[in-house]
Chain A
Amino acid sequence: MNRRKEFTRNIVLLSVLSYLFLHISGLYLNPISAYEQAERSGHYGPSEMKHIEDYVSGKLILGTYDRWVSYTTIHRTGFFFWRPRGVNAFEYDRSKPLDYSRGIENQFYRLYGIVNDASIDQVEITLGDGTVLSQTDLYEDLFLFTWEEGGYPKSIRGYDAEGNLVYQEATGY
């Protein structure tokens, strides 16, 4: 077989084998495809993506689907690929000024939730060791805290744009 024919054969083989590999291995070339597959395999969503951020192993995507708030983790693997991981979601209570849930993955604590009271402009949590974390730029109506030490938060508070306390709650964690 001459070189031109071998090259053509190689291109065909590359196309077929690459498709087979990506389809069956569960790896994706972009994080959004991996995120969509993570939700589909978790039988959740499709959610509306509100925020995406990097974390040490890959990306974390915050979203809403119907009456649930969720975060989905995507891991980077093999330099070029993305692997879907888990979907965490909770059904939020619209009657509460803000509602939230927690998670932990690879020693990273997370608290995520939704603000139902439009006057709340800032969400603040106090960790078990007294550390205070605050978020003023909400992701539309969602918030997300990620930290490594200090344990789960003991309390959560919501403030309006003037800094007045609108809501507070002991988390019970």
Chain B
Amino acid sequence: MPSPGKEEFLGKVLRQIRFPFDRAGIRAELADHITERIDHYIELGYDQEHAEQAAVSDMGDPTQIGIELNKEHSPLLGWLWKASGLLVSLVILLNVLYVVPMLTMSLFSGHDTGHIPESSIFYEVEVDEIVRLDDRVIHFSKVIYDRAGNLHIFYEHYNVLLRGGWGVFHYIGSIRDDLGNTYGGGAGSGTGGLPRKGYRVVTGFSPEARILFIKYDLYNRHYEVKVPLPVGDVRE
């Protein structure tokens, strides 16, 4: 019985390969091997047709070869490998879309004091008070009082578990002074990211006040921050 041609041989081998993503690689490798054998027989003086028949005959039974190769290239491992690769790509993409922006957001966010002109600052106090609410740590960092009577409160906050999705923190507590005045919550803003920055501005704050009280008392959570304020027309 004449040997099958090269393409017929390769077709019979590849029909035994269950993992489709391996077929192209196996085909290329076997085809290269057969081509080498063909070249060898041509050097020995065979014509092309007989050289191809001899080369294919040298390879052996294509069905048996395919069965053995299929065992080596386990379809189950192949599918697991392929699926795991796709899932890794997907999860990397999700991290790029969600996690990287969150981690880098606060690096480029504002809320430094740059928006308050130097000339309008009446006094500035470095605070450095740290309080905690559940998993949130709040660091009150600075208070600035401007010549228009506005008190600017700067703070940063982060989740101790570095967990995301834990919401903004706008209500920092009631604002009072040592003169008995209570002020509205004031306008404010915040940034995303880890950690986050926050900012409140209280209008009409008394220039005579010597202590700022920030008191949080909500849902059985409490803290109080006292900030001594400078006397007279001085700047820190």
Looking at chain B, what size class is its interface with the partner chain? 20 to 34
User: Chain A's nearest CB lies how many Å from the CB of B29?
Assistant: 16
Query: A64 to B87, alpha carbons, bound, how many Å?
Result: 41
Q: How far is the CA of A68 from the CA of B219 in the complex (A)?
A: 8
Contact of A66 among B94, B161, B166, B220 (CB under 8 A): B220
Among listed B37-45, B76-84, B110-118, B120-128, interface-contacting one: B76-84
**Interface SS of chain A:** helix
Q: In the complex the two chains form, what is the Cα distance from A111 to B154 in whole Å?
A: 36
CB atoms of B162 and A23 under 8 A apart: yes
Contact with B77, one of A3, A24, A37 (Cβ below 8 angstroms): A3
For residue B161, which residue of chain A has the nearest CB?
A23
Q: Which of A18, A26, A42, A68 contacts B164 (CB 8 A)?
A: A26
Chain B 156-179: CB-based contact to A (< 8 A → 1; otherwise 0): 000101111111000000000000
List which A1-37 residues lie within 8 A (CB) of chain B. 3-4, 6-7, 10-11, 13-14, 17-18, 20-21, 23-28, 37
Is there an interface contact between B166 and A26, defined as CB atoms closer than 8 Å?
Answer: yes
Contact of A3 among B78, B88, B95 (CB under 8 A): B78
Q: How far is the CA of A152 from the CA of B135 in the complex (A)?
A: 36
Contact B165 A84 (CB under 8 A): yes
Say whether A7 contacts B98, CB under 8 Å. no
How long is the Cα–Cα vector from A108 to B136 in the complex, in angstroms?
31
Q: In the docked arrangement, what's the CA distance between A27 and B218, Å?
A: 26
Judge whether A92 is part of the interface by a CB distance below 8 angstroms: no
Q: 17 pairs across A/B with beta carbons < 8 Å? A: A3-B81, A4-B77, A10-B85, A10-B87, A24-B98, A25-B98, A25-B99, A26-B163, A26-B164, A26-B166, A37-B165, A40-B134, A41-B135, A41-B167, A44-B219, A83-B165, A84-B167
State the 9 A-B residue pairs at the shortest beta-carbon distance, nearest first.
Answer: A26-B165, A41-B166, A10-B84, A26-B164, A41-B167, A25-B98, A17-B91, A24-B164, A7-B81
Besides A21-B99, A84-B165, A86-B167, 16 other A-B contacts (C-beta < 8 A): A6-B85, A7-B81, A10-B87, A13-B88, A17-B95, A24-B102, A24-B162, A24-B194, A25-B99, A26-B164, A26-B166, A27-B165, A28-B165, A37-B166, A41-B134, A66-B220
